[in-house]
Chains A and B, each alone.
Chain A
């Protein structure tokens, strides 16, 4: 049932390695998605300008513009479109940089095909799910910040921030589970739709991003509290 919703989703594949791109395109098309392939950073931005995509799959080492630059550019234009980095760069610095620039997921090459397709499916489903739930309760208040889930903005007296769709989903999960300790594994399973054994660093990076947006002092959080050995506790106050 859920699968039918995402059939025909449009994916922008940005990959300069021809052999890799052909294989990915085949597999994604076989899953029922519509794939457009950009061979370099310049083409990727041109494609993005002209089309609407449900997911962007980005390599990092690309001609003309790196994947990081493209992610930054796309995020400045649209906070909602999910971005997945698919790269041979495995260092934690690259991973953190990619996620901090607003990517929703980061997979390193070589990768397991089934896991890759699963992550793609989950990202597309989450995009749908997000647009459904945001209709029900489009606004929330945390401290002096007002979150508008419709246009993904956070407004306070002093500033206005745009959330990415993954940040919005994570925030919504915290709001719905306020006052309860949530483990990293639970967040991975329910927000990222991944096995809780995959890794926990990604969750921490996203929570630190939310702290930057909402906490008066991100080093001493009052809303997104860490519970040692357990996970996180969201205290709406």
Chain B
């Protein structure tokens, strides 16, 4: 970390020094050119009548300036590129550290229970408890690996979603409820309201990941008051899913960063949050692939967070994005069937 900070400092210093050097050179050049021109004009003909200067060579002079300015601009671009690269490397390093931790912790726990079961005389009740804990950890590992693979597929654009037409009023509350059950949310800690009636095009499994990620997020960031409210409604050919919690919220400056890949926000009020920085990035990519968008708002820290998802209402129009999704999806299914038969 210290090395990176030092190299950033060196890079910035070198860049500023280079800019001063270019500008200094430019200034000196102009000064030299103008003063020499004046001298030649005043005494040149007296010293040597052969020297005749009618006018300064404006083309060479201005061409030189343009070249120096161009070099300075290119250097700025290179500098900016390096800064972005350094930021990405930093995020990537954090991601690797987080993933390593997220992989090792459940693995260590599973190993601990296996060794305990082998080496100790564990009674039946405890044995069952330990097996349940191992299952919990193996699910955690599975979820982490699935997320990483899903993101990798998304980035290589080889993901094969299976889209179908659903009634939004039936499918979305069911998917939301699945998530609540998956995370064992108490009945009084969430509400699901739905007034949407139109059809929409969804990949059921992918939408489940979206709801799971948002629920997981709400749980992580609501240490004291876990209350989730999901409102599903439609307006102007769009289906809206508003997913709100009463957790620690997000400060305004962090709102733009929340969907970035590898990005993890730190909050001193809730520092326990573990993760990889991929969950909300994956969520956004899935919603985008459904032809929709996701935004987030928060009144500020400790005032809860609200995610708003928009997906288009399905209308049978040839050539529309949703129809293209459905066609692509049926091709995938045929291919999957063939693969299955083979």
Residues of chain A touching chain B, judged by Cβ–Cβ distance below 8 Å, are 16-17, 19-20, 22-24, 26-27, 30, 40, 61-64, 88-89, 109-114
Q: B116 near A112 (CB under 8 angstroms)? A: no
Smallest beta-carbon distance B1→chain A, Å: 9
Chain A residue at minimum C-beta to C-beta distance from B132 = A19
Chain B residue at minimum C-beta to C-beta distance from A27 = B116
Q: A110 near B272 (CB under 8 angstroms)? A: no
Question: B130 to chain A: which residues have CB within 8 Å?
Answer: 23
Q: B272 near A113 (CB under 8 angstroms)? A: no
Instruction: Name A19's contact: one of B100, B101, B116, B133 (CB within 8 Å).
Output: B133
11 A/B residue pairs, CB under 8 Å, sorted by A: A19-B133, A22-B129, A23-B109, A23-B112, A24-B112, A26-B116, A27-B120, A62-B272, A64-B271, A89-B101, A109-B107
Question: A109 to chain B: which residues have CB within 8 Å?
Answer: 104-105, 107-108
Chain B residue at minimum C-beta to C-beta distance from A88 = B104
Chain B residue at minimum C-beta to C-beta distance from A16 = B272
Q: Which 8 A-B pairs have the closest CB atoms?
A: A63-B272, A109-B108, A110-B108, A113-B115, A88-B104, A23-B112, A19-B109, A110-B111
- The docked-state distance in angstroms from the alpha carbon of A62 to that of B137 is 18
Question: A19 to chain B: which residues have CB within 8 Å?
Answer: 106, 109, 133, 136-137
Chain A residue at minimum C-beta to C-beta distance from B133 = A19
Smallest beta-carbon distance B52→chain A, Å: 72
Q: A20 near B112 (CB under 8 angstroms)? A: yes
Chain A residue at minimum C-beta to C-beta distance from B121 = A30
Chain A residue at minimum C-beta to C-beta distance from B271 = A63
Instruction: Name A88's contact: one of B108, B137, B272 (CB within 8 Å).
Output: B108
Chain B residue at minimum C-beta to C-beta distance from A61 = B101
Question: A63 to chain B: which residues have CB within 8 Å?
Answer: 270-272
- The docked-state distance in angstroms from the alpha carbon of A113 to that of B111 is 9
Chain B residue at minimum C-beta to C-beta distance from A21 = B109
Q: B133 near A112 (CB under 8 angstroms)? A: no
Among A16, A23, A64, chain B packs the most CB atoms within 10 A around the CB of A23
Question: B109 to chain A: which residues have CB within 8 Å?
Answer: 17, 19-20, 23
Question: A27 to chain B: which residues have CB within 8 Å?
Answer: 112, 116, 120
Smallest beta-carbon distance A15→chain B, Å: 10
Question: B105 to chain A: which residues have CB within 8 Å?
Answer: 17, 20, 88, 109
Chain A residue at minimum C-beta to C-beta distance from B113 = A23
Smallest beta-carbon distance B153→chain A, Å: 27
Smallest beta-carbon distance B277→chain A, Å: 15
Q: B101 near A23 (CB under 8 angstroms)? A: no
Chain B, 113-137, contact with A by CB distance < 8 Å: what is the 0/1 string? 1011001100000100110010011
Smallest beta-carbon distance A208→chain B, Å: 19
Smallest beta-carbon distance B247→chain A, Å: 15
Q: B115 near A112 (CB under 8 angstroms)? A: yes
Smallest beta-carbon distance B260→chain A, Å: 22
Q: A111 near B108 (CB under 8 angstroms)? A: yes
Chain B residue at minimum C-beta to C-beta distance from A40 = B272
Q: A113 near B104 (CB under 8 angstroms)? A: no
- The docked-state distance in angstroms from the alpha carbon of A88 to that of B130 is 21
